[in-house]
Structure formats: structure tokens, C-alpha cells
Amino acid sequence: MTGASRGLGRIAAEKILRDRPDVHLVVTARGGTLGGDLAESTGNPNVTALTCDLMSKNAVRAAAVDLAGRLDSGALPPLHGFVGNAGLQLTSRAHATEDGIEPTFAVNVLANHLFVRLLWCRFTAPGRIVLVGSDTHFGDLRHNLGMVPAPRWEPVAELARPRPDARTATDGRRAYSTGKLAVLYLVHALARRLPDGIDAYTFNPGYVPGTGLVRDAGPAVRFLSRTLLRALTATPLAMSAASAGALLAEAAVGPRPGESGVYIDRRTVTPSAPASYDRDREEELWHGLCALDPVEML
């Protein structure tokens, strides 16, 4: 599981550890004491933390190699799932990772693809891959409250390329919504490729104010997210981190939610945006991601 250090991911990780003592949870973190903290807070020692910076392809590869070694040696039980929860939203599209990739795309799309592809041969049925999406991929007022512009699809190489001229918050938020559309394409591509018994799903928690997603935003936006916008959790327009985390845990380890490839909107399987069902784009994304990092399965 990625993104388990804070927000709904932390809540989901703790719920899995409390409710499913039969599950050994592996989490990624850039450093610190996440594994020990989760074990202490839940009373369940079945948690392992791997060091990984999701912005770095080398770091993702190293974490996957580490995990594969532990699986093969029997130090960890068989691998039955992957939860790609980590998410990033920036106030521009001008930044670059050490690999020259736009960071939003690197974290929200490429890292998930890399982890799953590297560990492909280690997944054991019944298995489940859950990638966290967003209803911002719809690109309309009803789904994004006017806060995030609609996605704008481009060739994969362009989506991954930093844009030094794209320095506004609108540019950064559009990169986010477009990346979340890419998550749906990735899940659909996975559902066609994964072996029998391994499912892939997109989970949409809806708008969850007060999380670390807006940590790159200005002080005013961060303040609103912590205060006024939290009031929206009393309405259907938003969900608390506690509620969203519980639903993510259910999507990850609960009863099978539906056929592989479906979109789970909070707790309901429902169609995603019409634009998210485009097989040509799905295949373009898959092959484009493979071209960005042509690694072999471990």
C-alpha cells in the first residue's frame, strides 16, 4: 500500500490491520517509523514498511526488488494485493523529478504502473489491485465543485513532460484531473491483462477536505481545506477522511465488489465518465508507460 502515512490512507491501513489480523500489510514510506507506528496504534505487528520515494523510478524498482526478495524467501506471505493510494497535486506543471518526469504524473500514474508490472509474477489469486481515482476526471461542476479544471488528454510522452511555461494552479490541477483519468485507463488496461483471479479496480473517495493533497497550495487554500470546506463533510458533496479511509479498506480487503475493471464510487459500483472508456487511449497509455521505463518483471 502506498500513501499510508496520512489522511484516508492512514485510516485505511489502520482499519485493515485492526479488522484483518490474517493480513500482513506492507506499506511504503520515504523514511521514518511508519511501520512501527501502525503496529503500535493497532496492536497488530503484521506490518512491514519499505523505504520508497514514489517520484523516483529507481526507488520504486528498489522497493519492488526488496519486496520480491522477501516474498521469495518466505519472510512475507504470498502477495494478494496492491493499493495505490498515494496522490499528488501541485500548483503548477513546471516541476520535474530526478527522472525528468512531471511529478503529478510520476506519483499518480507511473509509480502504480511500475509497482504492478514489476511484481506481476508475484501476485497470487485471489488477488486485488485497487488504484485510488477521483471524480475530477468527469471534468464538470457537479463532480469537482468548480475547483479543478477538466482533464485534457495528450500523448503519454507529453503528459509525462514538465512544462516550464505551465506555472499556474490551474495547470497543476488540470495535471491532477488528467492523471486521474489516466488511472481509469490504467485499471481498464490491467483488467484485460491480469491473470484469472487477480482483479483491478478504481476507487473514488470523492472530495475529502483536510488531507495532505493540497499541501503544495497557498496558505489560504490550505486554511480553507482545514476549516470551512470540512463542513462539506456533513453534506453529500464531501466525505471525512475517517469515512473515506474505511471505504478504501473495504475496497481493498472486503467482499469482491464486482467484475474486474469497475469503478467504485465511495461504496457503489457505478459507471465512470464516458470519456474514461476509450480503448485506444487505454492501450496508448499502457504502451507509453512501458516505454517510459522498459523494465522486466521481477
10-55 tens-digit pLDDT: 999 999 999 999 999 999 999 889 999 999 999 999 999 999 999 9
Cα–Cα distance, 83 to 26 (Å, whole number): 10
| pTM, entire model | 0.92
Please name the residues in contact with 137: beta carbons below 8 A apart, sequence gap of 6 or more.
Answer: 151, 177, 180, 181, 183, 184, 272, 273, 275, 276
Pairing state between β 268-269 and 263-265: antiparallel
> For 258, what's the count of Cα atoms within 13 Å in the CB-facing half-sphere?
14
Please name the residues in contact with 270: beta carbons below 8 A apart, sequence gap of 6 or more.
Answer: 263, 264
Q: How much is the average pLDDT of 99-126?
A: 97
Q: Domains along the chain?
A: 81-292 (3.40.50)
Q: How much is the average pLDDT of 173-199?
A: 97
- Phi then psi for 273, rounded to 5 degrees? -60, 145
Helix (H, G, I), strand (E, B) or coil at 47: strand
State the pLDDT confidence band at 297, using cuts at 50, 70 and 90: confident
Burial (0-12, 13-18, 19+ Cβ within 10 Å), 232:
middle
pLDDT value at position 207? Answer: 82
Q: Which residue has the cell 471525512?
A: 240
130-158 tens-digit pLDDT: 999 999 999 998 887 778 999 999 999 99
Torsion of CA 8, 57, 281, 179, to 10 degrees: 40
Asked whether 208 and 244 are in contact (CB, 8 A), the reply is: yes
pLDDT value at position 257? Answer: 96
